A and B are shown apart, each in its own frame.
Chain A
Amino acid sequence: MNRAGHAGDGYARATGKPGVCIVTSGPGATNMVTPLATAQMDSIPLVCLSGQVATKVIGNDAFQEADVTGITRPCTKWNYLVKDVKDLAKTIKEAFHIARSGRPGPVLIDLPKDVSIGKTVFKEPDDVVLRSYNPTYVPNRKQLQKVVDLIKKAEKPVIFIGGGVILSRAHKELTELARKTNIPVTGTLMGLGGYPAPDPLWLGMLGMHGTYRANMSVSECDLMIAVGVRFDDRVTGKTDEFATNAKIVQIDIDPTSIQKNIQVDLPVVGDCKISLEILNQMIDQEEDMDDFASRHPDWLKRIDEWKRTTPLAYDQKDVIKPQFVIEKLYELTKGDAIITTEVGQNQMWTAQYYHFSEPGRFISSGGLGTMGFGLPAAVGAQAAMPGKTVVDIAGDGSIQMNIQEMATAIQYHLPVKIVILNNGFLGMVRQWQQLFYDKCYSSTKFQHTPDFVKLAEAYGAVGLRATKPEEVEKVLKEGLACDRAVIMDFRVEPEECVYPMVPAGAPISKMLLV
């Protein structure tokens, strides 16, 4: 039930189209709270149809009744209780419109039993017109002209992208802007894939587990062009010390994202793709355009130095390093797989060591951090993209939250690949206990974990295991070649930490390095 929601979410993230899920009333619907909240936090278009008791017994505590519109109100963009089958067509059309327009989000339609079995003559509803809901797609040109002027003056500019670039599929326009102005690009977790990661202008992810060069660049920049971000605390660190030297431009379709956590100098309300398109045109019309592409060489040199002196690094000795598994996976899939993740260290290492070049390739619960998201999301993504390699990079903890989804993968012949970075711990929590609570490992060590190879086989999937570094490549190759769902169990270094790390509440320039 819960998994149907994440699967619809995975479908939506992979394709950019709204995902759909259907659940039964009462417990089915209450189980949707987590997927709806997950989609709400990451602005994912998801339409959920939930069953409800018949209209005449609503409010009577009938069998499997729950106040589902009440329960889901804070975790949906909008929701409906349909009381008359004649309203159904219009409601469904409106729901899809709301889910995918503006800043997208989940919409729930609660369907009482008598409505769902009711009959009516279908009449194509009129186009949706909601006088109180008209998102601003086209930005104010005057504001954008000011952005051009700021770009001209900047000596240490940075572009900072988030999920908005992915959701509006603005990656081409963004890439054009960065290349034409020679401005380096960093991003949030949700922004990965918005700019081609192998490109020299890509700085890597920003924030708590951001790269040294990304965090330093943002801390020192004199202009930040933020596109489709909401300045989450995992990215800003201490807000008072975030990009203090910079003029900040923020482009976003949702006005509530602007001036919420960070005071910006130049707000632009508009769709990311349309805004960047216009911005690019404006830059093209500038007279002194020629030197744009070769600007601020000193700044880029400085960033390069940060990259050289303090790159992402790990030391692969005789125990498998989780980072090594992901690097190998990147190599073997040539960066072309759809990768979902669970939550924790597995998620952060994926963000650091798998390099994404397109939207819809990195599918991860960012805002809510929902363990158990990865496997059902992979199933949804695989259903959407039958020809693609879909891999869930998982932790040994998270994977056990929705492991039953293996049965769905087998039943529908969805050959998802699960890479478990099995460290014997709730690793990310353990890392905090190690670094900030004197290694007081409370409730984070697994005293018992199932045998994942046998578990895979029990589901009718393939189970593989690597315990030594030299087995990693072989297991990955074999797993990726499977035409069935497969679990690959990698026994990795138990107490590896994700670095760099910015302690919660510290400025992002103050990173703990290996």
Chain B
Amino acid sequence: MTKKHILSILVDNEPGVLSRIAGLFSGRGYNIESLCVAETAEPGESRITMVTAGDTLILEQIKKQLNKLINVIKVADMTDQDFVERELVLIKINAKAEHRAEILRIVDIFRAQVVDVSPEHYTISITGDADKITAIFSLLKPFGIREITRTGSIAMFREMKNKN
């Protein structure tokens, strides 16, 4: 059964790493739903957070194939574990005068922020996990969403879990 997985991949920050990983996925027909890359606190190391999907066998292959790449240091599958997930999303929506109050209420409930305004629109910034993002999308949709930019998920294991 196909299921969504969040992988946290620690890599040596060298030229070509991202291309190797992207190439592995396209070459073997695996899918990448989102991808987020940035340096860690350790010089020369980057962390890639990737959301992918597949059945158990495919996921096992994906993890093994990633581990096989020479400059992949560690692959962790966060799925079914206790972790914190966040994504930052910018949403540009239509904001006519008569809708502004309603939109602001939604923004408030979700602890989002309006970061840019024009007579006809709002740009809203929100962070949260996948469920929260989906929820705000569905509430804002009726107003007319003009554009969306998402960072893709980043995630981290919860500390409690590791201490057990």
Contacts and interface: CB of A to CB of B under 8 A. Distances in A.
Kindly list the 5 A-B residue pairs having the minimum CB-CB distance in the complex, ordered from nearest. Answer: A132-B73, A256-B64, A255-B64, A133-B70, A78-B70
Contacts of A79: 16
Contact of B68 (A70, A130, A254, A259): A254
A130 B14 CA distance: 13
A255 B65 CA distance: 8
Please tell me the size bucket of the interface on B. 20 to 34
Contacts of B67: 255
B19 interface: yes
Interface in A294-321: none
B23 A132 contact: no
Given A74-B27, A256-B64, A256-B65, A132 B16 contact: no
B20 A73 contact: yes
Contacts of B57: 259
A276 B58 CA distance: 29
B12 interface: yes
A74 B12 CA distance: 19
Contacts of A69: 16
A73 B71 contact: no
Main secondary structure, interface of A, reads mixed
A132 B68 contact: no
A123 interface: no
B73 A131 contact: yes
B29 interface: no
Nearest to A81: B15
Contacts of A73: 16, 19-20, 23
Interface string B42-74: 000000000000000100110011011011111
Interface in A45-92: 69-70, 73-74, 77-79, 81
A132 B69 CA distance: 8
Contacts of B60: 259
A77 to B, nearest CB: 8
B16 to A, nearest CB: 6
Nearest to B62: A256
A73 B24 CA distance: 10
A66 to B, nearest CB: 15
A260 interface: yes
Contacts of A132: 11-12, 70-74
Contact of B61 (A81, A133, A256): A256
Interface in B65-101: 65, 67-68, 70-74
A256 B23 CA distance: 16
A302 to B, nearest CB: 34
Contacts of B73: 131-132
6 contacts: A77-B70, A255-B64, A256-B65, A259-B57, A259-B60, A260-B61
A70 B65 contact: no
Nearest to A70: B19
Nearest to A79: B16
B68 A255 contact: yes
B70 A130 contact: yes
A301 to B, nearest CB: 38
B70 A98 contact: yes
Nearest to B65: A256
A199 B93 CA distance: 77
A254 B68 CA distance: 8
A130 B72 CA distance: 10
A255 B61 CA distance: 9
Interface in B7-35: 11-12, 15-16, 19-20, 23, 27
Contacts of B72: 132
A132 B16 CA distance: 15
Nearest to B69: A132
Contacts of B74: 132
Contacts of B27: 74
Contacts of A254: 68
A81 B11 CA distance: 18
A403 B5 CA distance: 51
A157 B64 CA distance: 29
Interface in A213-257: 254-256
Nearest to A256: B64
B23 A74 contact: yes
Given A69-B16, A133-B71, A259-B61, 4 more contacts: A73-B23, A74-B23, A78-B70, A260-B61
Contacts of A81: 15
Interface in A106-136: 130-133
